Amino acid sequence: MFTITARDPHSKARVGTLTVPSGATIETPTYVIVGTNAEVRTLSAQDLKDTHTGIIIANTYHLWRKLGEKLSSYSGLHIAMDYQGITMTDSGGFQVFSLGFSREHEVSKVGFFPEHDTHPTFLNDLILQIKIWLGITHKRNSVRVMPWGAYFKDENYGDTKKVFLNARKSIEIQEKLGADIILAFDECTSPKHGYWYTKWAMNRTHRWARKCIEVKKKNDQLLYGIVQGGAFEDLRKQSAKTIGNMPFNGFAIGGSLGASKKDMYNVLEWTMPFLPDEKPRHLLGIGQIRDIFEGVERGIDTFDCVIPTREARHGALWTHNGRFDVKKGEFKDSNIPIEEGCECPTCSNKVTRGMLYGMFHSKNPEGGKYATLHNVFFFNALMSEIRNSIKNGTFSDFKHKTLQRIV
């Protein structure tokens, strides 16, 4: 299932081959392209091939809400997407945060971290916990987490009453969706949550993780457990130890990763030693180029992030020389490609920066598509270069060279 084929002698970076029960295989480290609603926005099945996309992650919560009754007769992600690569589904645990405290706190999972770690806030956290149980939260927060699962009242789906998701249900849905890799249902916490709340949420996640293993019936899907614990060292270590000891097929690191890059890399260093070396490790929702290198260096095998696709639709293009916003006036008359020598479908088609500028400014959705094609190709290509550098023993050089140019 997962075989490590090369290791970097100077770091924890490794190259592996991940094979899922259906037989599909991919070489790691790799970047999982996000296709929340069983489609990578703007891209067709052919586009996925053309961008060398071999693994995609869709979302349990959104597909469940979108499909409704149709879920019971769902054909499965591979057929729905006309896609032969590997598929993953996120469990819906992230929506507990993204539709909940992310909105109430107006933060993302990577963001500033308050000074609460130096001021224990047991009482505040206790009050918060009780308020949540009583359903007293900000109006922006449309999630209510209880010990047995999460209730959503999601205006995006026109909810007039609460809908309920928990570990059992998430696994059942994920078995119907039929991805090759599925994730345990967890509670993703906010960077603004205090130590104690984060700890209690972590314990819920641990209980739910056991539940996921218990209720899983199908054996043609790999189940990954998720490590939580915010940016707190003891919690992260405890969570990694607990989850790492459960019989999962792989492990993911989720949740709030702190304020700075340093916090995030610390989280990796705290958790990695407790996650079985021979199993694949996924870093959820990350990331940027620098984060990828730092993650690989610390032993992460797979990443997923909306950056390549979302930023493309917003006009931000990634190259080996950094990122630029093609909507800027300076590109209006530019007749050079996004990146010289790039073999992506967009650059191969001689679509220039100036043409993209025009498409974005005229709201032509082709702009978003060409940009997505480029970015997805770019991230996939970069991962390939990373793999090669590990095999060649030049990972460290490649990292420094690339980061120097990109950042």
3-state secondary structure of 101: helix
Q: Rule CB under 7 A: is residue 42 a binding residue for RNA?
A: yes
396 to 171, 173, 321, 399: CA distances (angstroms): 39, 41, 18, 5
Q: Is 97 in the site for RNA (CB under 7 A)?
A: yes
Catalytic-labelled residue, pool 90, 125, 186, 291: 90
* No. of helices (H) and no. of strands (E), the chain: 16, 16
Quote the CA–CA distance of 156 and 91 in Å, as a whole number. 19
Asked if residue 243 binds RNA (CB under 7 A), the reply is no
Q: Note whether 258 binds RNA by CB under 7 A.
A: no
Identify which of residues 207 and 328 has a Cβ nearer to RNA in the complex.
328
- 150 versus 305: smaller Cβ distance to RNA: 305
Gap between the Cα atoms of 243 and 237, Å rounded: 10
Phi then psi dihedrals of residue 50, to 5 deg: -65, -25
Tell me whether residue 90 is one of the annotated catalytic residues.
yes
**Which residue's entry shows tokens 């290198």?**
293
Residue 138 in the binding site for RNA (CB under 7 A): no
Q: Which of 16, 85, 287, 337 binds RNA (CB under 7 A)?
A: 287
How open is the CA angle 74-77-80, to the nearest 5 degrees? 75
- The stretch near RNA (CB under 7 A) out of 10-18, 74-82, 121-129, 278-286 is 278-286
Does residue 94 belong to the site contacting RNA (CB under 7 A)? yes
164 C-beta neighbours (distance < 10 Å), count: 12
Shortest reach from residue 229's CB to RNA, in Å: 11
- With contacts defined by CB under 7 A, name the span among 119-127, 311-319, 383-391, 397-405 that binds RNA: 311-319
The reply on whether position 186 binds RNA by CB under 7 A is yes
End-to-end CA distance of the chain: 36
**Cα 208 from chain centre:** 20
233 touches RNA (CB under 7 A): no
Residue 171 interacts with RNA (CB under 7 A)? no
Q: Which residues contact 68 (CB under 8 A, 6 or more apart)?
A: none
Q: Which is nearer to RNA, 18 or 253 (CB)?
A: 253
361 binds RNA (CB under 7 A): yes
Contact between 180 and RNA (CB under 7 A)? no
Query: Residue 274: CB partners within 8 Å, gap ≥ 6?
Result: 237, 240, 241, 244
Is 281 in contact with 300 (CB distance < 8 Å)? Answer: yes
Q: How far is the CB of 278 from RNA (least distance, A)?
A: 22
| Separation between Cα atoms, residue 63 and residue 188, nearest integer Å | 19
- State the nearest-atom distance from the C-beta of 212 to RNA, in Å: 11
158 counts as binding RNA under rule CB under 7 A: no
Helix, strand, or coil here: 404? helix
For RNA, which residue of 177, 305, 347, 373 counts as binding (CB under 7 A)? 305
| Catalytic residue selected from 125, 186, 301, 304 | 304
Q: Which among 73-81, 128-136, 363-371, 382-390 is the span making contact with RNA, rule CB under 7 A?
A: 363-371
The DSSP bridge partners found for residue 90 are 59
Q: Report in angstroms the alpha-carbon separations of 195 from 39, 141, 174, 252.
A: 37, 20, 31, 21
β-sheet bridge partners, residue 6? 15
Q: How near is the Cβ of 5 to RNA at its closest, in Å?
A: 26
Q: Single out the segment in contact with RNA by CB under 7 A; choices: 55-63, 116-124, 271-279, 336-344.
A: 55-63
Examine residue 294 and tell whether it contacts RNA (CB under 7 A).
Answer: no
What region, left, alpha or beta, does residue 383 occupy, with left being phi > 0 and alpha being psi -120 to 50 degrees? alpha
50 is catalytic: no
Closest approach, Cβ 276 to RNA, in A, equals 19
* Identified binder of RNA from the candidate list 18, 83, 90, 347, rule CB under 7 A: 90
What are the catalytic residues?
90, 304
Binding site for RNA (CB under 7 A): 34-36, 40-42, 57, 59, 62, 90-91, 93-95, 97-99, 102-103, 108-110, 140, 155-156, 183, 186, 188, 226, 252, 254-255, 261, 284-288, 291, 304-307, 309-311, 313-316, 325, 327-330, 332, 361, 363, 365, 368
